[in-house]
Amino acid sequence: MDLKRYQQAPTEVAAQLATDLENGLQPAEVKQRQSQYGANSLSEQKNTSLVQKFIGQFKDLMIMVLLVAAIVAAFAGEGVDTIIILLVVVLNAIFGVFQEAKAEQAITALKTMAAPQAHVIRAGTTHAVPASELVPGDVVLLEAGDIVPADLRLTQSASLRIDEAMLTGESIPVEKNTVALTTADLPLGDRTNLAFMNSNVTYGRGQGIVTGIGMDTEVGQIATMLTQAKVNETPLQANLRHLGKTLTWLILFIAIVVFIVGMLNHQHTWIDMLLVAIALAVAAIPEGLPAIVTITLALGTTRMAKQHALIRKLPAVETLGATEIIGSDKTGTLTQNKMTVEKYFVTNELFDSQTPLNADAEVLMDIMALNNDTKIIDDQLVGDPTETALISFNQQHHRPLKALFEKQKRVAEIPFDSERKLMTTVNSAGDAYLITVKGAPDQLLERVKYQLINGAEVPLTPANKADILAQNHLMATQALRVLAFAYRKATVMPTELTSQAVENDLVLVGLVGMIDPERPEVKAAVAAAKAAGIKPLMITGDHRDTAAAIAKRLGMLTADQTDAVITGAELYQLDEATFMQKVEQYVVYARVAPEHKVRIVKAWQAKGKVVAMTGDGVNDAPALKNADIGIAMGITGTEVSKGAADMVLADDNFATIISAVKEGRKVFANIQKAIQYLLSANLGEVLTLFIMTLMGWSILAPVHILWINLVTDTLPAIALGVEPAEKQVMQRQPRGRLANFLSNGVQGAILYQGLLEGFLTLGVYWLGITFPVHANDALAHADALTMAYVTLGLLQLVHAFSTKSVYQSVFTIGAFKNKFFNWAILIAAVLLSATVFIPGLNGLFHVTPLNLVQWGIIAMAAFLMIAVVEVVKLGQRHFGNKI
């Protein structure tokens, strides 16, 4: 579509498209153009097959590590472990396929929004045809209730108003005209002589020439942006990919070194050392990690659903916790998406809407109700948002509208039109008639002769007129939409229903200021976001003053932030380098187009920020898809926005986002705790086997390592995933894109805690060998090996308590608050000790019963594990790592 159509006169557009404004196209020309341009429909992205999606899931490096672990376990003869690992891999792939298939529904939903029928003039006759058959040059008729079937240059407009909120975000239907506009690069919302595909006609009627169909429309451009949007790797996916890659090379290196060292000692056969290397690889690979991550995310998803945040893609749970920027649409997201009376001006005074009504205000309320086309159907207000707001205002003050309508019935009217900006009704009032007029204050005041003050009709003085215009300006600067109301009494029915004959010698009653108000809970949510180090932005298609006023009321803007607001037209003028320099100063983006939203998201991402974008309209979908996490509205949101989003707010409540951010931060912290626990435990196992091999000692058998992994790496790690959030979680700065699972002190904790586990285990083994209970060397070595086996397993279970916080003491965060965790540790301890205490099992596991002294040594090692970690944490807190 030529973006300069709005600058051309209707006759110019008709000439360029070779069409007749009166008769439309001829049938033969329609067929030729259908062949040339194709159908008026949106093309869909070519989707991959389920098989391709399934195979694609195995490209993830951590999944490859799991497959290696399965092969290793199979070589070690551990069939059960092999089956479990492969089951985890397959389930993970199936879940990934399911999520990917759901994400491809956005374009399909966009396509279903198209108008099914269109009224078109062809060969001088009006026809109802499928909208898909329209071609450029067709002359289309519009009336209230229609869905605009294509992009149009309007040629006729009779009080035509079109709701374009789904494209522009503007809450008020746009008054349309046919006048050519001279300004270049106008935002969509200001192109008042155009009608856009899929928008809704709310009032009046009109006619227009089809200038764009299918993908060549504004909606089509959005569809194109959706198909071209790059699927961003989430921080979680990047972290797991990096961790998996690092572990793969590290495990391979350690296994080879252990195998070579063992062979050089000549104390073991190559088969024994191969089994040890395999056991070491299994010990080092946290094969339960993907399952633990998935379970933790799934549990987080369930908790979020209870708080009205519906997660469509699992990694979005964790991405929320990393969010640094939230770009939010205004209409329906930060505001209520309904016009509301906020102030009224009568008797030369300005009042808040809640103020009790005086006598003049009662007259004002009567005129609001009488000069109104709103219908009340099943207690619901149906009509233009501005007019329904006036009736709602009457209802809030408990006024008897039914009696008013019966007493003063409408007998005639002069409809609103965009040129004179007034609407007039004539109502019977007993033996007389009441003429009511509402409209733009500047237009109405030109027809006013009197003013109602304390029930008396007094002449309107220049001073009072100036005061009224000043009040109008004051409300306008507060982003209020202002209407003026007046009346005139007549003893006879007007014979000529024209503006010149009726709309004169009026009595001004007052002014009313309306706005789409902010949601009551959003101000606190914005404050909470700022406290959490998150920068909220407003990105809207609405006007600059309206957007800025709402942003100030919400606390997003302060009074002195004069350079923090930018319009789409101003954004057009900024080159990419300049915008990147200034992007951090902007808080409010007004009158923006869909491509602007994507540009804003990408600019912040280029700064290395994790960006969330909220929205409900079709115009939001490309930005939702390009953002690190797209958040759609569940109630007011279109299916297109929901299809492009990672998360849907079931209650359309901005505050729900902050609750979800808290949950996301908790999920990341819990995954981090599980990783700290698993990797420190695995490092302890690797160190134990490595040193035992170097020293030529008896080595823990593969069955020992595999059983320890089975009982300690599953339930306790999963239980860490459901730990309650730490108190300071929403006072911390966002961790951002560069942070990973090993940051914020976790890597150092893994290293020293893993080394501590290994050395304590080796120390217990050395004590068992040095101070044997049995004189027989074989029994002494068997006892020492049993003590090392039990110590290694028990240290991991005890250490699980320490990993509940990187820096905080286990005694202050509540060691036993998590009941699931307590049961997990207890079950794991029973399974571990059963291999020693149960006669049949200790033979299978090559372990021996221990006496009280030996158990005492093991208990001392467990105590030292807790004590040393607590002392280190105390030092860290003392030297600055307080959270």
How far is Cα 279 from Cα 844, in angstroms, rounded to an integer? 17
Q: Determine the 3-state secondary structure of 831 from DSSP.
A: helix
Structure tokens at 11: 């006759």
Q: 395 CB contacts (<8 Å, ≥6 apart)?
A: 401
The tokens for 361 are 């205000």
Report the SS3 class of residue 591: coil
Q: Are 44 and 52 in contact (CB under 8 A)?
A: no
CA separation, residue 145 to residues 160, 161, 162, 191, 720 (Å): 11, 11, 10, 21, 55
Residue 785 burial (CB count, 10 A): 23
* Residues 835 and 841: beta-carbon distance below 8 Å: yes
Q: Environment class of residue 113 by beta-carbon count within 10 Å: exposed (0-12), middle (13-18) or buried (19+)?
A: middle
Please answer whether residues 478 and 505 qualify as being in contact, where contact means their C-beta atoms are separated by less than 8 angstroms: no
Question: Rounded distance, CA 313 to CA 628, Å?
Answer: 12
329 is catalytic: yes
DSSP of 268-303, one letter per residue?
Answer: S-HHHHHHHHHHHHHHHS-TTHHHHHHHHHHHHHHH
Q: Assess contact for 651 and 311: CB atoms under 8 A.
A: no
309 in Cβ contact with 659 (< 8 Å): yes
Q: Specify which residues 139 forms β-bridges with.
A: 121, 209
Asked if 638 and 294 touch (Cβ cutoff 8 Å), the reply is no
Report the C-alpha gap between 681 and 673 in whole angstroms. Answer: 12
Q: Phi, psi (5° rounding) for residue 466?
A: -65, -40
The DSSP call for residue 517 is P
Distances from the Cα of 294 to the Cα of 19, 80, 91, 743, angstroms: 60, 21, 10, 21
3-state DSSP percent of the chain in helix, strand and coil, to 5:
50, 15, 30
Please name the residue that has the structure tokens 């219908």: 375
Measured CA to CA, the distance from residue 121 to residue 128 in angstroms comes to 9
| Cα torsion 248, 253, 254, 258: sign | positive
Euclidean distance between CA atoms 413 and 356, whole angstroms: 31
The whole-angstrom separation of Cα 370 and Cα 215 is 45
Helix (H) or strand (E) holding 433: strand 432-439
Q: Output b/e per residue, 809-829; b: 16+ Cβ within 10 A.
A: ebeeeeeeebeebeebbeebb
Positive or negative CA dihedral for 875, 876, 879, 882?
negative
Closest CA to 213 of 127, 105, 137: 137
Q: List the catalytic residue out of 60, 151, 190, 329.
A: 329
Cβ atoms 138, 195 nearer than 8 A: no
Please list the active-site residues: 329
